[in-house]
Amino acid sequence: MLWNATYLGDTLDALRAESYPITAEDAAHLTPAQHDHINFYGTYSFDFETELRRDGHRPLRSPAA
């Protein structure tokens, strides 16, 4: 969920930078926990060396046209 929260913030920042109207009320309804790809009971594998070498966040994907 930390990853989702981090990139959710990046997404809001990117939308605001494009002058998309994001209100505090709209943002209050967002949560990083409501996503189907989160597996609360599974095992995750991370390549820590690769992640430690990363400078900043991954770029956001553009929405499908």
CA dist 53 and 28 (Å) reads 33
**What is the average pLDDT across 15-22?**
92
49 within domain boundaries: yes
Output the six-digit token pair for 5: 């929260």
What is the structure's pLDDT at 31? 84
What is the structure's pLDDT at 35? 65
16 within domain boundaries: yes
Which residue range forms the structural domain that includes residue 11? 2-53
60 within domain boundaries: no
Tell me the DSSP string of 12-51: HHHHHHTT----HHHHHT--TT--TT--TTS-----HHHH
- Provide φ and ψ at 47, rounded to 5°: -95, 90
63 within domain boundaries: no
What is the structure's pLDDT at 64? 63
pLDDT exceeds cutoff 60 at 6: yes
Domain count, the chain: 1
Instruction: Please indicate, yes or no, whether the overall pTM of this predicted structure exceeds 0.85.
Output: no
Q: What tens digit of pLDDT does each residue of 28-50 get? A: 988 887 767 677 777 777 788 88
Output the six-digit token pair for 26: 């709209």
